[in-house]
Structure 1
Amino acid sequence: MPMNPPLTAGNATGQPKPRDDDMASGTTARRDSAAYRDFRAARDQLLASRGDLEAARAFPRPEGEHFNWALDWFDVEAEDNHAVGLRVVDLDADGTLLRETALTFAELRERSDRTAGWLRAQGVVRGDRILLLLGNQVALWEVMLAAIKLGAVVIPASTLLTPDDLADRLARGRVRHVVAESALTPGFTGLDGDWTRISVGAPVAGWLDYADTAHHTGAFTPDGPTRAEDPLLLYFTSGTTSSPKLVQHSHRSYPVGHLSTMYWIGLRPGDVHLNVSSPGWAKHAWSNFFAPWNAGAEILIVNQPRFAARPLLDAMVRHEVTSFCAPPTVWRMLLLEDLTQWQPPLRELVGAGEPLNPEVVERIQQAWGVPLRDGYGQTETTAQIGNAPGQPVKPGSMGRPLPGYDVVLVDVVTGAEITEDGVDGELCLPLTSRPLGLMAGYQDDPKRHAESMAGDRYHTGDVAQRDADGYYLFVGRSDDVFKSSDYRLSPFELESVLIEHPAVAEAAVVPSPDPLRLSVPKAFIVLTPGHEPDAETARSILAFCRRRLAPYKRIRRIEFADLPKTISGKIRRVELRGQEEKLHDLHGAGAATPRGDREFWEEDLPRG
């Protein structure tokens, strides 16, 4: 059932006091408000423009002064809506069902009202920062909705953070309240401060019990209008190339901005959407919160103690998943199975987090007959670029600019805009047509903020090319692109060739210092099951690359090793680069450089 219930008289319980022009109490008043009408008009045009990217890009931008997504959109759409809005499925290590919880949109509305009222009774007020340390459990969605209604600012955090990480979040985030899983509360031991402690799960001494929200009574009434530019979210970035930045988003930039993400995924009312993403990271809000509920789709969560492809695929069939999003690492793990054995009613398949290699795109298409569409965005934005639904997909390409975004390429040295096709440049967003989904800025870091917005453009720090059809090809992080014999090399391009080899499950390419060429490409490789990390496997991979790469791009060194990743799953090439530089600084870059037991150089292996 779509999340578009018929107009009703509504129930004033939990609705705001009158305000300004359209603030009479009750859901009917909100349905008649400019905030709701503008958002609905934008959403509906995007839904109607599937397959017509130009029409979608002309959607009317909701730009009113006031907007509160939970009150002005979610609550209105959820009234008397008994379709499932959230389903959480918990599996054990063998894939056996432990529990399943399904909540309708109407239930989520009522529960989040009670949660908001209870949090207010504990001292949470507009503008307070709430650190949220929860896994994929119902309380996460309840607290998110409640915080938006209250006007509080949420700092989502990964459940894998260390005590030092938590201390950093508490201090830099200026946290006033913490909502954490009971099992994770020991991580706060010794972290003193005047902040409210709320545990979810078993009671914890010294912490308030979140279970008390179920007994809270009384209507929730907001304390006034929410400005669309008020802060809503603070995200610590995953730190692939530097220390985590603190990104601030507003009530406009993420809820409204994620209309672009909804369009890219191709979500429709009544869809069942599954996204593999951990709480605490921006992609979780993209695909497990705002984009599905912008469309009126069901969010399906499949929790596993450790990722296993088969139980996930079984769940996709059992729950009739129509839309599926996963990072490239998960797509590669899924391809270790014969996907033709599972045939869920899929219509949309997308990947994000890191670029999708062409080999992965083609194999998924062969297995399921559904195009796997890549997209691009950042914590600082919503989905900027994507292979849009109903449009031709170019494997290896990020796609074209999505509704709400204009994109330019800029010369990294001169700052001049690049107009030629096929030329490397930094992806930038012109601020003269400021994207709806662009962050408000980096908190407490004016230097970094000024650098990111220099020249009246937002600088992504990513390098790409544009082809004659307007599709953008990812080259790499500006920090990841490197020179070898004076040629600029893209790690992504070389990694895309490597994973076509049947022995390669994952690969990361970095420069390895060389006295003649300055540096040469070195690949750190994770093998697929059944292949040994020995000289014969290395010889086979190097020969494979020789046949497919120009001599100046050739992989010259291989090391079989696990890949360091952020806790959001992105490869930390910066760590591998540092490892190489340190090794060669210590021992020199010549042939006498020590090598690991699983490292092989091209010159060591006769071609035979």
Structure 2
Amino acid sequence: MPKEKAAEGAAEFRAARDLLLELREDQEAARREFTWPRPAAFNWALDHFDEVARRRPDRTALWIVEENGSEARYSYRHLSERSNQVANWLHAQGVRPSDRILVMLGSQVELWEVVLAAVKLGAVVLPTAVALSEADLMDRMDRGGVRHVVCAPTETEKFVGMQGHWTRICVGYMDGWLAYPDSEHTALEFYPPRPTAPDDPLLMYFTSGTTAKPKLVTHTQHSYPVGHLSTMYWLGVQPGDVHLNVSPPGWGKHAYGSVFGPWNAEATVLVVNQLRFRVERLLDEVVRCGVDTLCMPPTVWRMLLRNDLASWEVGLREALSAGEPLAPDVLERVHEAWGIPVRDGFGQTETTMIVGNGPGQPIVPGSMGRELPGFRVEIVSPDTDDPAETGELCVDLAEAPVGVMRGYTDDGDLTRQVTRRKLYHTRDMVTRGPDGQITYVGRFDDVFKASDYRISPFEIESVLVEHEYVAEAAVVPSPDPLRGSVVKAYVSLREGVEPGEEAARAVLAHARGRLSPYKRVRRLEFAALPKSVAGKIRRVQMRRTEAARGTIPEGERHPHEYWEEDLPGLGA
């Protein structure tokens, strides 16, 4: 009976997946006809991935290109068998269903082997970035209730002073650690100790912590594997495609585009490892490897513009970005060079992709698109929860969409707060136009008032980064005795540009010519932008810095800080 139920669950999953592939360029029809599969018995790795391995054994599931030009391809059959071995070996080392495994690996094949093995075994993975400090790591070990650790030899030193009874597993050989390569000597057949249930925990992610202490998010055996059908749809990835996602392991976006999204579609995940990131090499590999679908964060898309994009004859069918809106000039230049649009979308660690411009849809510059299949969203006032044209983006929970977290693991009160009134509150501000297009305004905590107007940092930052001198920008309020607060921009300059009055004048004049008077940037400071361990800008830190200054004495400035009144001709 369990095998029959699993087969029924797999058939239900594939039917929903195939519908989305069939309607890939008709987002309205896909939203209308798609319903979430909710199989009572379904283990994504055993019943989907292994089935792909049976039907397409030689198709490449994972393709890793190294810095030195070497590369390795791993077929669906190989990863199916290796994950069976790893699951057997982990179980022999004492890993049981629901045990929590902290996985601290880079983009190496063992990462994907462990994830697949954990799904099969029913264990819980805490993906962790290798860039974490020891203090951050101790917090994750403690709050995550970790019972097992898997890491590379280079990372073992970070665990030396940590107390507790947890299994030490090294992907290599290190004294005092179990040797992961020993898993190669275990059986190729795997029989799970017990069936996994839809609501069993599978992944626990720490959020990036841009505005507060990182939250611990729990996803289940269904919420990410099945929930990422919406992500697969947004990506536009098809069976046999080569998909490249520029996101490091340890964060939810990696699961979006380097595990569940493409593998739901039976595609190939491409990884291009670089010790020092270079856009030129990335584009060389996009051409050489025949990438079909490419997803990159806005910062990387902006870096592309420093090059003559048309000199790379890419064969891309889909280009995607998520994280913040792309400036219109980026969209225009990519389309001019490659003849394809860059499609935007929105999701969180707590969810799968919620809103997006699906494949083949008309693109409105600055818009994230519309609801993706499986989701209904509401926009409500952050003060009253009443419907609003501009307000907080919320997911309607009335029909229990699969792609939403189970909750915050160690904070029941916060879980109840963000799911009140049968809505999941994203804490992100958006506006919806008459055509249904949803446009991002800013993080709830980042939106502020200046001169009695509500200011969206992203709107101003997108203008600032259009200037040739600007690499990155962050906008925060700065105290002002007359206006209460004014708009201040922290700006990181591109390589070769010197901070000084000339650069300040050029950037401020550029912004002034493109922004409404009430959004005017009146103060500018050249500085490195503080970021979370996930690489996201921490505006909250800059806001605290400004607030702590209080009323600034006449003439007092930070190093490389310029006010309009400092620059004749701009301060009028």
TM-score interval for Structure 1 and Structure 2 normalised by the shorter chain: over 0.9
Does the residue aligned with 2:261 lie in a helix, a strand or coil? helix
Give the TM-score of the pair, scaled to structure 1. Answer: 0.92
Q: 1:330-369 to 2 correspondence within 5 Å?
A: 330-369=300-339
Indicate which of 118, 123, 128 corresponds to 2:99: 128
Q: 1:421-436 to 2 correspondence within 5 Å?
A: 423-436=389-402
Aligned counterparts of 2:533 and 2:342: Cα–Cα separation in 1:
25
Does the residue aligned with 2:393 lie in a helix, a strand or coil? strand
Aligned counterparts of 1:250 and 1:217: Cα–Cα separation in 2:
27
Q: Counterpart of 1:415 in structure 2: which amino acid?
A: D
Q: Is the CA contact 1:514–1:590 (under 8 Å) kept in the aligned structure 2?
A: no
1:39 equivalent in alignment to 2:13: yes
Q: Counterpart of 1:605 in structure 2: which amino acid?
A: L
Superposed CA offset, 1:328-355 (max 9, x none): 1111112211111111210101011233
Q: Is the CA contact 2:314–2:338 (under 8 Å) kept in the aligned structure 1?
A: no
Does the residue aligned with 2:302 lie in a helix, a strand or coil? helix
Q: Counterpart of 1:106 in structure 2: which amino acid?
A: R
Q: Counterpart of 1:385 in structure 2: which amino acid?
A: V
Q: Which deviates the most, 220-229 or 34-43?
A: 220-229
Hey, what does 1:60 align to over in structure 2?
35
* Structure 1, unaligned runs of 5 or more: 1-18, 24-29
Superposed CA offset, 1:436-489 (max 9, x none): 100000012111111111122110000100011101111101110010111001
C-alpha deviation, 1:21, in angstroms: 6.8
Q: Counterpart of 2:23 in structure 1: which amino acid?
A: S
Indicate which of 515, 537, 540 corresponds to 1:571: 537
Aligned counterparts of 2:329 and 2:428: Cα–Cα separation in 1:
22
Hey, what does 1:542 align to over in structure 2?
508
1:460 equivalent in alignment to 2:442: no
Q: Is the CA contact 2:101–2:124 (under 8 Å) kept in the aligned structure 1?
A: yes
Does the residue aligned with 2:190 lie in a helix, a strand or coil? coil
1:526 equivalent in alignment to 2:492: yes
Q: Counterpart of 1:169 in structure 2: which amino acid?
A: R
C-alpha deviation, 1:356, in angstroms: 2.2
Q: Is the CA contact 1:543–1:607 (under 8 Å) kept in the aligned structure 2?
A: no
Moved runs in structure 1, 4+ residues, more than 3 A? none
Q: Counterpart of 1:37 in structure 2: which amino acid?
A: A
C-alpha deviation, 1:597, in angstroms: 2.7
* Structure 2, unaligned runs of 5 or more: none
C-alpha deviation, 1:567, in angstroms: 2.0
1:159 equivalent in alignment to 2:130: yes
Hey, what does 1:416 align to over in structure 2?
386
C-alpha deviation, 1:399, in angstroms: 0.8
Aligned counterparts of 1:537 and 1:234: Cα–Cα separation in 2:
44
Hey, what does 1:77 align to over in structure 2?
52
Aligned counterparts of 1:20 and 1:368: Cα–Cα separation in 2:
50
1:516 equivalent in alignment to 2:482: yes
Q: Is the CA contact 1:354–1:570 (under 8 Å) kept in the aligned structure 2?
A: no
Aligned counterparts of 1:525 and 1:100: Cα–Cα separation in 2:
38
Give the TM-score of the pair, scaled to structure 2. Answer: 0.97
Q: Which deviates the most, 496-505 or 292-301?
A: 496-505
1:142 equivalent in alignment to 2:116: no
Hey, what does 1:316 align to over in structure 2?
286
Q: Which deviates the most, 530-539 or 283-292?
A: 530-539
C-alpha deviation, 1:530, in angstroms: 4.0
Q: Is the CA contact 1:373–1:386 (under 8 Å) kept in the aligned structure 2?
A: yes
Q: Is the CA contact 2:13–2:39 (under 8 Å) kept in the aligned structure 1?
A: no
Aligned counterparts of 1:46 and 1:66: Cα–Cα separation in 2:
22
Q: Is the CA contact 1:380–1:438 (under 8 Å) kept in the aligned structure 2?
A: yes
Aligned counterparts of 1:570 and 1:435: Cα–Cα separation in 2:
27
Aligned counterparts of 2:110 and 2:406: Cα–Cα separation in 1:
27
1:596 equivalent in alignment to 2:570: no
Aligned counterparts of 2:136 and 2:497: Cα–Cα separation in 1:
37
Q: Counterpart of 1:84 in structure 2: which amino acid?
A: T
Aligned counterparts of 1:304 and 1:218: Cα–Cα separation in 2:
33
Q: Which deviates the most, 115-124 or 75-84?
A: 75-84
Hey, what does 1:169 align to over in structure 2?
140
1:581 equivalent in alignment to 2:552: no
Superposed CA offset, 1:1-41 (max 9, x none): xxxxxxxxxxxxxxxxxx44716xxxxxx5xx111111100
Does the residue aligned with 2:426 lie in a helix, a strand or coil? strand
Hey, what does 1:400 align to over in structure 2?
370
Aligned counterparts of 2:541 and 2:139: Cα–Cα separation in 1:
21
Q: Is the CA contact 2:242–2:293 (under 8 Å) kept in the aligned structure 1?
A: yes
Aligned counterparts of 1:107 and 1:360: Cα–Cα separation in 2:
40
Aligned counterparts of 2:391 and 2:138: Cα–Cα separation in 1:
38
Superposed CA offset, 1:318-377 (max 9, x none): 101111111111111122111111112101010112332223222221221110011101
Hey, what does 1:243 align to over in structure 2?
213
Hey, what does 1:562 align to over in structure 2?
528
Does the residue aligned with 1:433 lie in a helix, a strand or coil? coil
C-alpha deviation, 1:528, in angstroms: 2.5
1:103 equivalent in alignment to 2:77: no
Q: Counterpart of 1:598 in structure 2: which amino acid?
A: H
Q: How many aligned positions are there? A: 568
Q: Is the CA contact 2:35–2:374 (under 8 Å) kept in the aligned structure 1?
A: no
Q: Counterpart of 1:504 in structure 2: which amino acid?
A: V
